[in-house]
Amino acid sequence: MGLAKRVIPCLDVDQGRVVKGVQFEGIRDAGDPVEISRRYNQEGADEITFLDITASHENRATTYDTVSRMASEVFIPLTVGGGVRNTDNIRDLLLAGADKVSINTAAVFEPEFVKKAADKFGSQCIVVAIDAKQVGPDRWEIFTHGGRKPTGFDAVEWAQRMVSYGAGEILLTSMDRDGTRDGFDLDLTRSVADAVTVPVIASGGVGNLRHLVDGVIEGHAEAVLAASIFHFGQFTIGEAKEAMANAGIEIRR
Amino acid sequence: MRQTVAVIDYGSGNLHSVAKAVEHAGSNQVVVTSDAATIAAVDRVILPGVGAMGDCMRGLQERGLDRVVLDLIGSKPLMAVCVGMQILTEYGEESSGIHALGVFQGHITQFPRSMTGCAGEPLKVPHMGWNEVMQVSHPMWEGIPDRTRFYFVHSYRYADIHAECVVGTCDYGSPFAAALARDRVFAVQFHPEKSHDFGIQLYRNFLTWDGTC
């Protein structure tokens, strides 16, 4: 017995509402983030990830308010990402009640920012989010701006660099799989998970419970993240854990 | 019985969630404070902690709160969380070495670099997530089943599980202390405020704990 693999529902939040797109487009409304997190909390979610996809600056106040309301009711770890660009953003999110913040685009533009953030707030609360697309056999590249802009960085090397800068965890999303329901990119997940010393969260593409099992057993992920299979009532968190336990994976009940 | 609780603010992270969890557990008066007089006036005190042990020690010292904490040991119930627990030990090997408050004997050491799990798989550091806590009989565990999982996130730990003060253990690569206790002090390596219902139960127990072991 030991550390449990984690199941993390992800809320993509736009102006205070949970939405879910297919390959970063075609948005569907899935409800109120606080209400949804309360339900996931009761169902046994191990953590919640909140990605603020609100583009405009003026809506950040809504985000802090939502995070604060979630943190007052939901007593499991909460990771918040989206638009984290400087240490003030991080401080504000932690003060609002986030336990970890996820840095994506800002890390690509200014890798030293990750170092600065980890020094200031501790690696335990710095998650680096990596959006990767396959560009060749066993080769994945980092993309920014919701998968539209290539950066030329190799995903595995980038993950290692981010860990050396102090990232405490990697949130790894396959842009090829996100929203497809075809399952995680297991080769990508395993390549990154085996290359870094910190936990890797697999993300992008979950369409059924077998995919979650595969992410851990074949992808070597410490945690699996999914959105739409939970939001639209296809499966509960409990069912996800049951499937993982049946496959011999240690989970928290 | 309503209890006033002070969460000590020394510049460490997420005090909000500790305060909210204690409110949720039933205290109608939780203050987050760095004021010595306020801390002296409340019924119970919580010493939180997030980040590096050195930063936390410095944060306490800069505000003169190291003395405040030492003065209240044994006089009123104190609960310490995560790095809050670590700074109650004697010494931590984080960065170039941190001399801590010495309320508990023993040291905080780093998880070894290459640890493997029972199936030979490499174990990641930080130790992050839900792990089982094996209890040693103590009133603070009231209503919490043995081997309940709590949420941990840390890269350093108290490894001497045979020390007399250890009242809970956990295993990650090798066993380490999940909880330490002595007269009127209960300290945990995990985060009760992030550990769902049983974490709240632990804070609830703290609100009624008479301080005995």
Q: How far is CA B151 from CA A16, A105, A113, B182, B207, in A?
A: 28, 29, 27, 23, 21
If you count residue pairs, one on A and one on B, with CB atoms under 8 Å apart, how many are there?
Answer: 102
- pLDDT for the residue A21: 52
- For residue A75, the chain B residues in CB contact (below 8 A) are 17, 20-21, 24, 193-197, 199-200
A169 CB within 8 Å of a chain B CB: yes
Q: Could you give the CA distance from residue B130 to residue B198 in angstroms, rounded to a whole number? A: 12
- pLDDT for the residue A23: 46
- pLDDT for the residue A55: 63
**Looking at CA atoms only, how far is residue B195 from chain A in angstroms?**
6
Name which of B9, B12, B16 to mutate to probe chain A: the one with the most chain A Cβ atoms within 10 A of its Cβ.
Answer: B16
Mean pLDDT of chain A: 92
B-chain residue closest to A7, CA distance: B129
H/E segment holding residue A139? strand A139-144
Q: Residue A22: is its pLDDT beyond 50?
A: no
Q: Which residue of A75, A199, A222 is in closest CB contact with B193?
A: A75
Q: What is the CA radius of gyration of chain B?
A: 16
**Looking at CA atoms only, how far is residue A204 from chain B in angstroms?**
21
B-chain residue closest to A78, CA distance: B194
**Looking at CA atoms only, how far is residue B36 from chain A in angstroms?**
22
Q: Would you say the ipTM is above 0.90?
A: yes
The residues of A annotated with a catalytic role in the active site are 12, 131
A75 CB within 8 Å of a chain B CB: yes
DSSP A3: P
DSSP string, chain B: ---EEEEE-SS-S-HHHHHHHHHHTT-SEEEEE--HHHHHHSSEEEE---S-HHHHHHHHHHTTHHHHHHHHTTTS-EEEETHHHHTTSSEE-STT-EE---SSSSEEEEPPSS-B-TTSPBPPSSEEEEEE-EE-S-GGGTT--TT-EEEEEESEE---TTSTTEEEEEEESEEEEEEEEETTEEEESS-GGGSHHHHHHHHHHHHH--S--
- For residue B55, the chain A residues in CB contact (below 8 A) are 122
With both helix axes pointing from N to C terminus, report the angle between A87-96 and A60-73 in degrees, rounded to the nearest 10. 40
For Cα atoms A94, A95, A100, give the angle at the middle one, nearest 5 degrees: 10
Query: Hey, CA dihedral for A174, A175, A179, A185, is it positive or negative?
Result: negative
- pLDDT for the residue A144: 85
CB contact (8 A) between residue B17 and residue A121 = no
**Looking at CA atoms only, how far is residue B173 from chain A in angstroms?**
9
Q: How many CB atoms lie within 10 A of CB B130?
A: 25
What would the mean pLDDT of A214-220 be, rounded to a whole number? 98
- Catalytic-role residue among B56, B82, B165, B170: B82
Encode pLDDT of B110-137 as tens digits: 999 889 888 788 899 999 999 999 999 9
CB contact (8 A) between residue A96 and residue B16 = yes
- pLDDT for the residue A57: 66
Active site residue B99: no
Q: What is the CA radius of gyration of chain A?
A: 17
Give residues with Cβ within 8 angstroms of A4, minimum separation 6. A46, A250, A251, A252, B129, B130, B131, B149
Q: Could you give the CA distance from residue A144 to residue A194 in angstroms, rounded to a whole number? A: 23
Torsion of CA A175, A176, A177, A183, to 10 degrees: -130
Q: How far is CA A80 from CA A57, A128, A201, A219, B54, in A?
A: 16, 11, 14, 24, 26
Q: Could you give the CA distance from residue A151 to residue A111 in angstroms, rounded to a whole number? A: 13
In chain A, where does DSSP find H-type helix?
33-43, 60-73, 87-96, 105-109, 112-121, 155-164, 186-195, 209-217, 228-231, 237-246
Q: Which residue of B154, B194, B197 is in closest CB contact with A99?
A: B194
Where b means 16+ CB within 10 Å and e means fewer, B27-66 reads beebbbbbeeeebeebebbbbbbbbbbbbbbebbeebebb
- The residue written with tokens 């990771």 in the block is A79
Q: Which residue of A6, A94, A220 is in closest CB contact with B129?
A: A6
Q: Could you give the CA distance from residue A242 to residue B184 in angstroms, rounded to a whole number? A: 40
What would the mean pLDDT of A13-35 be, rounded to a whole number? 74
Answer whether A52's CB lies under 8 Å from A13's CB: yes
Residue predicted with more confidence, A211 or A55: A211
B76 CB within 8 Å of a chain A CB: no
- pLDDT for the residue B92: 96
**Looking at CA atoms only, how far is residue B160 from chain A in angstroms?**
18
Q: Could you give the CA distance from residue B200 to residue B139 in angstroms, rounded to a whole number? A: 15
Q: Which residue of B14, B153, B194 is in closest CB contact with A94?
A: B14
Give residues with Cβ within 8 angstroms of B66, minimum separation 6. B57, B60, B101
**Looking at CA atoms only, how far is residue A120 from chain B in angstroms?**
9
- The residue written with tokens 């050396």 in the block is A164
CB contact (8 A) between residue B155 and residue A169 = no
Give residues with Cβ within 8 angstroms of A1, minimum separation 6. A250, B132, B147, B171
Q: List the domains of chain B with CATH numbers.
A: 4-208 (3.40.50.880)
Strand pairing class (B156-157; B134-135): unpaired
Among A219, A175, A228, A183, smallest CA distance to A199 is for A219
Strand pairing class (B91-92; B107-110): parallel
- Catalytic-role residue among B99, B132, B191, B196: B191
Encode pLDDT of A130-166 as tens digits: 999 999 999 999 998 777 889 999 999 999 999 999 9
CB contact (8 A) between residue B130 and residue A4 = yes
- pLDDT for the residue B13: 66
H/E segment holding residue A126? strand A126-136
Least confident of A40-44, A184-188, A224-228, B50-54: B50-54
Encode pLDDT of A193-211 as tens digits: 999 999 999 999 999 999 9
Q: Residue A26: is its pLDDT beyond 60?
A: no
Q: Residue A25: is its pLDDT beyond 60?
A: no
Give the total residue count for chain A: 253
B134 CB within 8 Å of a chain A CB: no
B127 CB within 8 Å of a chain A CB: yes
- For residue A126, the chain B residues in CB contact (below 8 A) are none
One pLDDT digit (tens) per residue for chain B, 213 residues? 688 999 999 887 668 889 999 999 998 899 999 999 999 999 999 999 888 898 899 999 999 999 999 999 999 999 999 999 999 999 999 878 999 999 999 999 999 988 988 878 889 999 999 999 999 999 999 999 999 999 999 999 999 999 999 999 999 999 999 999 999 999 999 999 999 999 999 999 999 999 998
CB contact (8 A) between residue A124 and residue B149 = no
